[in-house]
Amino acid sequence: MMTGLLHTHSLLRYFILIMLVLVIVTSILGLVNKKPYGVWDNKFSLYLLIFTHLQLIVGLILYFTSDVVQFNSGTMKNAELRYWTVEHIFGMLLAVTLITVARISSKKLTSDQAKHKRMFLMNGAALVLILSIIYMSGRGIL
């Protein structure tokens, strides 16, 4: 069960990374070509949100069951335990928040160009953050 969840969590990262790149590229194209915020922009952003929230649920279950998440006096001194107990969850929660707020807040904007810009900036920040945190894990970036 736990290895299955870890595999799911590991695989979902690619779905998130692919959707993030798609959302970022389509928002750049929308900005450059001054295109309306269309049906596909909305669909890509919804799929990104669903994969991200699924990842959050699986991550939370892993967090309370994993061997590398420990709350004892040695946790902060050990780089691996500190990474999984503190750094991974903290950084990824920030990234999940960026992706979620990008979608919720862009819905309230009236101009299509402003929507593309909001999606580009917040999801771009989330992508950089996610890649940096995965890199910090020491398990390789991809």
* 118 makes contact with ligand HEM (CB under 6 A): no
Q: Using CB under 6 A as the criterion, what x/- string covers residues 9-38 for binding ligand HEM? A: xx--x--x----------------------
* 60 makes contact with ligand HEM (CB under 6 A): yes
Which CA distances in Å does 132 have to 46, 87, 91, 95, 128?
Answer: 24, 11, 9, 11, 6
CA 139 to CA 27: how far, in whole Å?
31
Q: Which residue lies nearest ligand HEM, judged by its C-beta?
A: 59
Encoding tokens for residue 3?
């290895």
* Cβ pair 18, 96 in contact under 8 A: no
Helix axes 88-107, 39-63, angle to 10 degrees: 150
Determine which residue in the list 76, 80, 128, 139 makes contact with ligand HEM, applying CB under 6 A.
Answer: 139
* 47 makes contact with ligand HEM (CB under 6 A): no
Q: Tell me which residues touch ligand HEM (CB under 6 A).
A: 6, 9-10, 13, 16, 46, 49-50, 52-57, 59-60, 62-63, 66-69, 84, 88-89, 92-93, 95-96, 100, 103-104, 130, 134, 137, 139
